[in-house]
Amino acid sequence: MDELISLSQKALGQIPASVAVPCYDRGALRAGIVHIGLGNFHRAHQAWYTHRLMQMGLAQDWAIIGAGVRPGDSAMRDRLLAQDCLTTLIELDPAGKSAEVTGAMVDFLVVEEDNAALIARMAQADIRIVSLTVTEGGYYLNPETGDLDLHHDDIRNDAERPETPRTAFGAMVAALHLRRAQGRGPFTCLSCDNLQGNGDILRRTVTGLARLSDPGLADWIEAACSFPNSMVDCIVPATGAREIALVRSLGIADAAPVTHEKYRQWVIEDDFCAGRPDWEQVGAVFTADVHTYETMKIRILNGGHQMICGAGELLSLDTIAACMAHEGIRAMFRKIASTEIAPHVPAVPAMSALDYIDLIDARFANPEIRDTTRRVAFDGSSRHAGFLVPSIKDGLARGAPVEGLALVSALWARYCLGQREDGTGVEANDPLWPALQKAAMAAQTDPAAWLENVPIYHEVKDAPQFSGAFCRWYALLASQGANHVIRMYSGLPCE
């Protein structure tokens, strides 16, 4: 192989011709967006849509400034700044791979405990959108009420010390306080996380936090800012040694490449108080009915991930594609999705719920995407609550089956014991891992203890149809193992 080209603005002209590079003048770009939580998904999704507009000569004043609020974000900042905030995106598809270098991001703010640099930059008039990917569990929601958890130490800090906030939301409140005082107007607050009604949740979080310290500011934010709901979709694995080697095989030394599937979808409410890029020109869908799209995606894709990852982890299958190559897990996914989820999911234009199951089946099975079961299983306490429990509630309300969803909950409870069936250990994989492990240990002698001690089940734990099925499946898993039980549920011959 020829000598590797270290990714940088200066080196773009040396990038192999097989890899597309920005054709716009990055030095002339002007900032318009601050994005908080700048990981792989953002760079493969929102930043890609913005980059594609820039390739058309559009959105030149909508460049992205990255930001983070966790100490660990500093490592990503260092990697990206060292390569002028450029990213190599590698599309992995069974038909072949392709790559491009994207350049919509132009800076990454210093990560500070008091978020001073982030607040100051968001307060500038050129920033018209503040977007976030902080994960489903990053919104400080009370799992029983869905409202802001007022007792969390970080929220209490931001309420008592609003000038030096710890959270992304506290920083947004502080920036909006400065903009209001200086007559600079509001910005749009855009959640890109997998939460149903993510804009509504972000509105409640930001205004609720503001109201704790400045009710007048909260009223102004409520009236002036916009919080569009959105649905985002693209499978984007974490970057590891394999991905680094893959980008090097293209002749590029990129310390933070991103691999992704070919499929992308972004559905957004057109509610932007200070303007927006014309993302619809590169495939985004603007609609007043985001809810229907996100219901289908969250219930079947995100819910589907949770259906299979617990089983995969227990059976030591390290990727989602490996789970789908397992006859029993694939059959379980299709049976639960088609009989216990699809009946409660309305169609979207040109796509029924059953057709969507076929699409997701193929996407999950893509052997080129090395999406680990551990990554997908992370933060199950938030993901089961947001992606699976709503289907359980719908099934119970309509007298429909919930047997398979109870099995998935039992598989997760077994996973939270921290040991796979081959005897290997599971390292902590949830912000609430100690509490989950305690509940999982109690479930070994009384399976119902899991439902009693994991708050996400508070609305369904007393329903005999669900709790009875959960306890039955849990006992079978303990005595006969995941592979046998999954095949039994799926109607396959038990090995």
* Residues 168 and 303 occupy one common structural domain: no
* Residues 354 and 262 occupy one common structural domain: no
Give the residue from 271, 288, 305 where a domain finishes.
288
* Residues 157 and 44 occupy one common structural domain: yes
Q: Which helix (H) or strand (E) holds 89?
A: strand 87-93
- Rounded-to-integer distance, Cα 43 and Cα 50, Å: 10
Structural domain including 319 reads 291-490
* Residues 240 and 94 occupy one common structural domain: yes
- 420-430 confidence digits (pLDDT tens): 999 999 999 99
- Please indicate, yes or no, if residue 355 is contained in any of the structural domains: yes
Residue 440 near residue 433, CB atoms below 8 Å = no
User: What type of residue sits at position 170?
Assistant: G
Within a 10 A sphere around the Cβ of 193, how many other Cβ atoms? 22
> How many separate domains does the chain show?
2
* Residues 157 and 298 occupy one common structural domain: no
Q: Is the pLDDT of residue 292 over 90?
A: yes
Q: Is the pLDDT of residue 1 over 60?
A: no
CATH number, domain containing residue 302: 1.10.1040.10
- 350-407 confidence digits (pLDDT tens): 899 999 999 999 999 999 999 999 999 999 999 999 999 999 999 999 999 999 999 9
Q: Give the pLDDT of residue 33.
A: 98
Pairs from 417-422 (Cβ < 8 Å, separation ≥ 24): 417/441, 417/444, 420/313, 420/314, 420/315, 420/316, 421/314, 421/315, 421/316, 421/481, 421/482, 422/316
* Residues 279 and 300 occupy one common structural domain: no
Give the whole-number percent of the chain exceeding pLDDT 70.
99
Q: Give the pLDDT of residue 2.
A: 65
* Residues 171 and 295 occupy one common structural domain: no
* Residues 225 and 321 occupy one common structural domain: no
Residue 473 near residue 484, CB atoms below 8 Å = no
Report strand pairing: 63-67 vs 105-108.
Answer: parallel
- Rounded-to-integer distance, Cα 168 and Cα 166, Å: 7
State mean pLDDT over 311-328. 98
- Rounded-to-integer distance, Cα 75 and Cα 45, Å: 21
Give start and end residues of each alpha helix (H) in 184-289. 198-213, 215-224, 241-249
Task: List beta partners, residue 33.
Answer: 64, 129
- Rounded-to-integer distance, Cα 260 and Cα 97, Å: 10
State mean pLDDT over 408-426. 97
- Please indicate, yes or no, if residue 100 is contained in any of the structural domains: yes
- Please indicate, yes or no, if residue 388 is contained in any of the structural domains: yes
- 474-483 confidence digits (pLDDT tens): 999 999 999 9
* Residues 269 and 142 occupy one common structural domain: yes
In degrees, rounded to 5, the angle at the alpha carbon of residue 240 between the alpha carbons of residues 237 and 244 is 105
Q: What does R_g of the chain's alpha carbons equal in angstroms?
A: 23
Q: Give the pLDDT of residue 141.
A: 87
* Residues 253 and 351 occupy one common structural domain: no
For residue 304, give both structure tokens: 């589907």
Q: Give the pLDDT of residue 145.
A: 79
- 151-198 confidence digits (pLDDT tens): 999 999 999 999 999 999 999 999 999 999 999 999 999 999 988 899
State mean pLDDT over 65-76. 94
- Please indicate, yes or no, if residue 218 is contained in any of the structural domains: yes
pLDDT-based confidence at 275, cuts 50/70/90? very high
* Residues 308 and 403 occupy one common structural domain: yes
From residue 452, how far is each of 384, 448, 456, 462, 467 by CA, in Å? 15, 6, 9, 9, 10
* Residues 200 and 339 occupy one common structural domain: no
| Sign of the four-CA dihedral 5, 7, 8, 14 | positive
State mean pLDDT over 249-262. 97
- Rounded-to-integer distance, Cα 69 and Cα 77, Å: 11
From residue 303, how far is each of 189, 195, 464 by CA, in Å? 26, 12, 22
Residue 309 near residue 320, CB atoms below 8 Å = yes
- Please indicate, yes or no, if residue 495 is contained in any of the structural domains: no
Within a 10 A sphere around the Cβ of 200, how many other Cβ atoms? 15
User: What type of residue sits at position 245?
Assistant: A
Q: Is the pLDDT of residue 433 over 60?
A: yes
Q: Which of 263, 124, 123, 136 is nearest to 191 (CA)?
A: 136
pLDDT-based confidence at 3, cuts 50/70/90? confident
- Please indicate, yes or no, if residue 182 is contained in any of the structural domains: yes
Q: Which of 228, 304, 227, 237 is nearest to 267 (CA)?
A: 228
User: What type of residue sits at position 250?
Assistant: L
- Please indicate, yes or no, if residue 192 is contained in any of the structural domains: yes
Which residues lie closer than 8 Å to 242 by C-beta, 6 or more apart? 370
Question: Is the pTM for the entire model greater than 0.75?
Answer: yes
State mean pLDDT over 123-135. 96
Give the residue from 288, 319, 340 where a domain finishes.
288
Q: Give the pLDDT of residue 144.
A: 75
3-state secondary structure of 163: coil
Task: List beta partners, residue 98.
Answer: 91
- Please indicate, yes or no, if residue 432 is contained in any of the structural domains: yes
Give the whole-number percent of the chain exceeding pLDDT 90.
94
131 φ/ψ angles, rounded to the nearest 5 degrees = -115, 160
Give the residue from 219, 253, 288 where a domain finishes.
288
Mean pLDDT taken over the chain:
96
CATH number, domain containing residue 135: 3.40.50.720
- 222-244 confidence digits (pLDDT tens): 999 999 999 999 999 999 999 99
- Rounded-to-integer distance, Cα 86 and Cα 446, Å: 53
State mean pLDDT over 10-35. 97
